[in-house]
Structures are given as C-alpha cells and as structure tokens.
Amino acid sequence: MKMKLKPILMLSAGILFTMVSCQKKETNPLLMEFNTPFNAPPFDKIKVEHFEPAFIEAMKQHKMEIETILKNTEEPTFENTILELEYSGELLSKVSNVFYPLTSALTNAEMQAVSQKIAPLFSAHNDDINLNPELFAKVKAVYEKKDALALNPEQQMLLTKIYDGFVRGGANLAADKQQRFREINESLSKLELKFSDNVLAETNSYKLVIENKDDLAGLPEGVIAAAAEAATKADMDGKWIFTLDKPSLIPFIQFAQNRELREKIYKGYYMRGENGNELDNSEIISQIIPLKVERAQMLGYDNPAQFILENTMAKTPEAVNGFIKKLWDPALLRAKGEAYDMQKMINKEGGKFKLASWDWWYYSEKVRKAKFDLDEEMLKPYFSLEGVKKGIFLLTEKLFGLQYTKLTDVPTYHPDAEVYEVKEADGKHIGILYMDFHPRESKRGGAWMTSFRDQHITKTGEFVTPIITIVCNFTRPTGDTPALLSLDEAETFFHEFGHALHGLLANTTYPRLAGTNVPRDFVELPSQIMENWCTNPDFLKMYAFHYSTGEVIPDELIKKMEASGTFNQGFITVEYLAASILDMEYHTINEVKSVNAKEFEKAAMAKFGLIEEIIPRYRSTYFNHIFNLGYSSGYYSYIWAAVLDADAFEAFKETGNVVDPETAKKFREFVLSKGGTEDPMELYKKFRGAEPKPEPLLKRRGLI
C-alpha cells in the first residue's frame, strides 16, 4: 500500500545565506550564495565531498551565533533571545535541507558514509545547544514573563515551542544525567541511520529472476514488459526481473498465477531486515528501544509514547489506543469476512490450501472482478501519470487559482526530477516544486514530501518563498506506453501533492512554525483530503481520460468504482492498524530492557487477535517510519487524520460543488497557510465550525 512521509529536520533556523570565507566560497557551492533561478540549490555543482566540510563550517558558525546571544549582557527579551535563537543556524539549515532530502532520493555508499560521520556530530551539536545552562536560563527568563510581553499568537507559540524544546531536550536534567542523555542521543542517531540504510540495501539486493515464460501467466503485458526491460538493463536479455519496488511487487502478487513465486517474492518483501545477515535489523531494534525508554524516563515520562504524544492532538497513549480499538474490532470482523469469501473461491477452484498472506492480493483481485466486474487493468488506461498530474493542476487551479509553469533552467538532482514554478492566479510567485516519480536503487521506497527551503520572513522583513519536493515510486513507462498508474498510485500522487500545498501555501513569520511543522496527527489532513478528489465521480469526469483514445472515463466504470468503494477495506484497515498497534506496543514499554523483535511482534499481534492471513503493513525490521523517519508513536496519525479529512471533505460536498472556491479559501486560510502557529483543533474548528465527527470515515470504509 502507500507509504507517505514527511521527513522532519529538527533544526531551529530558516534557510538564509550566511557569508563565509572567500576560500570556502570558491571551493564549496553549499557555502556560497545560490546564484540560480529562485535561489534553488545548484545541484549541478554540488558533489558528495562538499557536504562534510559544509556541515562542519555551518556548525562552527551556529556556535558563534549562540555565543553572541550568551555574551549579550542586557536583560533577556523576546527580541534579543528568542528571535536570535530562531534565526540562528541559517547556514546549517541551508546545508541540511539539501543533504537530508538527497539521502532519501539520491543516496549511495558515499552519501551514507557522510551520514554516518555527520550523525554523531549533529547530535552533539544539538545537545551542546539544548543542554547549555546559560542559554536555557535566558530562554526561561523570557518564558516566565510571557504573559506580560503583549506577544501576538504566533510569537507566543514560538516562545512556547522554543522553551519546550529546551525542556524536552534535557535542559532541566542534572549535569551527570546530561552526559548520559548525550550518549543516548548519539547512539540513537547512529542506530536509526543504520536501520534505514539496511532496509534500502536489503530491498535493492532482492531480485526474482524468471526464465520460463509460463511463470508469467496472469501478469498484464505492461508488467511483463517492465520486467523484461529490467532484465535487459541487468544484462539478462530473454529473462524477466521483478523487485521489491511496489510497481514491480504489487502487480506480481495481484496477478501472477504461480502461487509458489507469489510466496517467494512476498516473503522476500516481509523478511527484509530479518535474514540473519549483515543487514539484519533485529539487533538494532533491541538496542533502540531500551535507549528510547531510558531517555523518556530521564525526562520524567513512563515510556517514549507518553513523551512523544504530549505535543500532538491525541495527547496520550491511552487516547491513541482507545481510538485504534474503536476501529480495530469492526475492521477485523470485516477482514474475516473478506478472508472467508476468498477461501470460498479457492475451494471452488479446487485449491487444496488455506488462504495465506501472499494469496490475499491475488484472490481479492479475483473476488473484486467476480463481484463488480472491475480490476486494476480496466482503470489504469484512465490514470496515466501525465493525466493525473494535469488533473491535480486543474483541481488546485479551481480550488486555489494556482498556476504551474515547467522550468528547464533550474538545476535538478536527477534527470527524473521535474521542476515547476507555482504562481497565484494573478501571476504572483508562490514557490518552486520538484517532482520525482520513478523507482531507482538510489531512492528508498514509498512516497514523501519535504522541502529544500521553508517559507518564512527574515529578520529584515523579506518574505522567503518555499522550495518543495515530492518523491514517489510510480510505475515507469514501457516502450510506447506511458506510465499508467494504479488507483493506489494515483491516490498517492494526490496525497503527496496535498503535503506540497501545505508547504507551498504557508504564510507564517517563523521557519519553525511554517508549512508542515505541525503535530504529526494533523500533518496528514492536507494530504489525505486531496485523496477524496482523486476518485470523486464529479471530478473524475474532469481529468480521467484514456491515454490513447482521449475518451473520458465512462459512467459505467465510475459506477463500478463507487460500488466497489468499500471492497477490501477490512484488509486495508486491519493491516494498517496492525502496524499502528506494533508502533504503540514498542513505544509503551516501561522497562529499560532488550527486545527480541520477532517474539515481541508475534506477541503484540496475538494480543489483538490479528488473523494469520494478514501481516502488519510494516513489520518491525523494515518499519522505517518508527525507527528512523519521525513517526514513532505516530503511525496512527494517518487514520486519525482520516477522520479529519472525511469530515472536512463533507464541507465541500455540502455546498453542492466539490471544487467550491469559497470553501477552499477557508481551508487555505485556516489550515494550509497557518502551519504550526495555533492549536490544530482550534484551526480545524475555524475552518469547519465544529470538531470532526468519525461517522463520515466509518461510512466511507463500510465499517458501519
């Protein structure tokens, strides 16, 4: 299914230019002003060897800026302490916001080596700031008189977040405990990076090579052609290669008639990081969890989830677990019914086996075809990548008046990446958008949005526009056939574009509060509401055209899509919730002890009664979300936000026009533009007029 991420860079500064020595300027483009259109990163000049010295220089400058704050003998104020802190580290943010997106989208052994070297340095640098007693004393002095400062709401939020950041960063710990705190942070920075590198390496190392054409039975021609192209690139002409990239894996387990091969590739997928080799992540998990527990308890919490959830909409582990439980029971019941239907089909066909996890995709596709006369291959011709992109552009033009101009004079980090200028209806520049669509070995799996530069206003009052990127792993074009997306891929494109809008349409003062810098269980609202338009019958007629004939998607096909709208939702909800449960189980451990990942996962799933025909969407040893990408104790947030997005889309439907510009204007004003400047529930209520109701989501998924 989908993996949608927004990597968060935990830096305090915006992305502005800081002058450095002439010598360094001449040799390192990262330490120079970006003299490119819109000041985009000069990817054509940046080399791997530039990053380490750039980081070292940037950290050095950041330390000097902190020293300037400390040497100020005046009484600490919002201006001379809080604002100076917020705008410090500008060069470090600039370098980081180029480097870290590339470690996901265009990595290699050299980049990974730099990451491993920089990770402990970065951890120590952040700790040097967070654990500086003199600096914290200044921040605390301002915070304690916040009620008398006449700050506006955004300034109040900035002050609170900076103060909380110090407290949560260990500033109140005794000196002896601070040393241990530093050690934990350094260890986690290395372990989490190694975990992610192992997942990528394990994914890239797997190849299912097919030599007998009979083993391709059932597979669509486009899938076979893509596998043949992959084999040709690997100097295996006449053979077919399938990988663990979703555009290769999913069609294989959906359509391949050879059950043994479906089992083989699916096991290759779900055994990643658990093969007892040098890429095994089991031992890394056994080290990460006790370190997280120890750190949380040092800060006064029982477990990591208590610590992490304190600053979210959910607030507590109990609230998250209660929310999951309400959805789990009806979803599991529905999934058991779906499994029953598939077992009936197996028996009817004379199969002498029990439905297994590697059968689910194949037989659910067959059941859908039998029940609704609908399968993925009937839909794909209407969802070409170019057509979906045009549809998204059309949607955002109708909703927000946005315009897009493709650019050819802006450097890109890879030939696959496209660049667009985004403008208001009146032609005013909004920002720059990179889009990178297809799998490659240098890119990790899934789909995500991040930024090369966040929107903000500088200390001197200059409005800095954002540079946003979305990265996906969609089916590539084959031969004369363009890239045709599955419905899941099309929804993913809409989803990630929602994140991009959150970054592009930001209108805040401080970089810390801009765009997607919001609680994890609110950040998915702008992305998930976009998915509603992807399959909305009214909007489908505006953008879904057959790639070769130009024919609009027929009403008959739309009706079949609507009729099958709740099909397989038991499975989809259960496999997702199972991963959310696994996340919460790990992060509500209250003891500092080693964890056997395999046994822990098995016990957690048994505790909730997960049926053996379904495995969690992400098993422990490749669960990047929670072990490296900032979603620990937060994977539930996708379905938490689904309650928000289903309720929010009702606001459009209630107008009788799903692209109503007035409703879109309110959504932009109170959600997309505000970033983290206010409490998210208060922002939602300003848009909707009330707190969200869960009924629209449950109805949409067929769970009531």
3-state secondary structure of 384: strand
Buried b vs exposed e over 354-385: b needs ≥16 C-beta within 10 Å? Answer: ebebbbbbbbbbbbbeeebebbbbebbbbbbb
Give backbone dihedrals phi and psi of 456, rounded to 5 degrees, phi first.
-170, 175
Return the closest-CA partner of residue 250 out of 364, 174, 342, 91. Answer: 364
Under a CB-based contact definition with an 8 Å cutoff, are residues 588 and 604 in contact?
no
Q: Compute the distance between CA of residue 520 and CA of residue 531 in angstroms, rounded to an integer.
A: 18
Residues whose CB falls within 8 Å of the CB of residue 407, separated by 6 or more in sequence, listed in order: 37, 419, 420, 421, 432
Active-site pick, 338, 496, 575, 601: 496
Q: Compute the distance between CA of residue 79 and CA of residue 107 in angstroms, rounded to an integer.
A: 40
For residue 496, indicate whether it is catalytic: yes
Give the Å distances, CA to CA, from 227 to 222, 249, 691.
Answer: 9, 11, 48
Parallel, antiparallel or unpaired: strands 240-242 and 403-406: unpaired
Side-chain half-sphere CA neighbours of 549 within 13 A: 8
Give the Å distances, CA to CA, from 182 to 116, 124, 126, 137.
Answer: 17, 7, 9, 20
| Orientation angle between helical segments 569-587 and 637-653, nearest 10 degrees | 130
Q: Compute the distance between CA of residue 414 and CA of residue 416 in angstroms, rounded to an integer.
A: 5
Structure tokens at 346: 């197996």
DSSP string, 299-367: TT-SSHHHHHHTTSSS-SHHHHHHHHHHHHHHHHHHHHHHHHHHHHHHHHTT--S---GGGHHHHHHHH
Q: Compute the distance between CA of residue 104 and CA of residue 468 in angstroms, rounded to an integer.
A: 15
Range 688-696 contact pairs with CB under 8 angstroms and sequence separation of 24 or more: 688/647, 688/648, 688/651, 692/643, 692/644, 692/646, 692/647, 692/648, 693/643, 693/647, 694/326, 694/643, 696/643, 696/646, 696/647, 696/649, 696/650
Under a CB-based contact definition with an 8 Å cutoff, are residues 307 and 296 in contact?
yes
Side-chain half-sphere CA neighbours of 11 within 13 A: 26
DSSP lists the bridge partners of residue 419 as 434
Q: Give the helix ranges, DSSP H, for 505-568.
A: 520-523, 525-534, 537-543, 555-563
- Determine the Cα angle at 270 with ends 493 and 474, to 5°: 20
Q: Compute the distance between CA of residue 631 and CA of residue 635 in angstroms, rounded to an integer.
A: 5
Just list the catalytic residues.
Answer: 496
